[in-house]
Amino acid sequence: MNAIIIVTIVFSSIIIILGMITGTILMTIKMRHGGVSRKSRQHHEEETRMIQEIYHGLTQMEKRVESLETILMESIGKETSS
């Protein structure tokens, strides 16, 4: 019974070590080739550009809402003073 446990531990250790070595090699290869494919980089750039456009649009909308709030407050102030 103990022999089976020892053999299982040895083989499990070998499989784990081989997995770690393979993972390290794959990560090294990926890092040498720029990390990401050209198509993936283009998709990331397009996504970044869209997020920036959304942020810019929301900033403009915030300014418009503030202007409308100012106009509304001024018109309410004129109504109460009349």
How far apart are alpha carbons 5 and 14 in whole angstroms?
14
Answer yes or no: do 15 and 42 share one domain. no
Higher per-residue pLDDT: 80 or 59 = 59
Residue that the structure tokens 């103990």 belong to: 2
Residue 44: its pLDDT value, please? 84
What average pLDDT does the structure give for the chain? 86
Please write the tens of the pLDDT for every residue from 39-49. Answer: 777 888 999 99
The token pair that represents 63 in the structure block: 């300014």
Using a cut of 0.75, tell me whether the model's pTM lies above it.
no
Residue 78: its pLDDT value, please? 79
Answer yes or no: do 43 and 81 share one domain. yes
Domain that holds residue 23: 1-35
The token pair that represents 39 in the structure block: 């198509």
Answer yes or no: do 20 and 43 share one domain. no
